[in-house]
Structure 1
Amino acid sequence: MGEFSLAHWLIVLLVVLLVFGGSKLRTAGEDLGAAVRGFKRGMRGEEVARRNNEPEA
């Protein structure tokens, strides 16, 4: 009890597709991907800024 099998996940996926539709899910996926890329770029920028502000030993 409490475990989800592959059949359960397929049913959940089908219901989500029926409720939201493929185009909305694709748009949400693209937005999520853009947000992750922006976050990674921001983190890389902070690392570079920290390295540039550190005095050399």
Structure 2
Amino acid sequence: MFIGADSTARDALIHQHASAHRDRLTADELGKLVQKGTRGTAKGKGRAGGTGA
């Protein structure tokens, strides 16, 4: 028998909830980085704003 063979639906829900929580934390941190990286750029022009690119 392999490890986890006796897991229950309850165990699966706990794991799923923990995974969703980690995903939310990751998304929040990525969002902060995006916001920080896009401050000061010309609206709608991205990083190459004003370069004619």
Q: Distance in 2 between matches of 1:30 and 1:23?
A: 11
1:22 corresponds to which residue? Answer: 9
Structure 1 stretches of at least 4 aligned residues deviating more than 3 Å after TM superposition: 54-57
Unaligned runs of 5+ in 2: 43-49
2:24 corresponds to which residue? Answer: 37
Q: Going by fraction, where is helix more abundant, 1 or 2?
A: 1
Report the aligned-residue RMSD. Answer: 1.9
Unaligned runs of 5+ in 1: 1-15
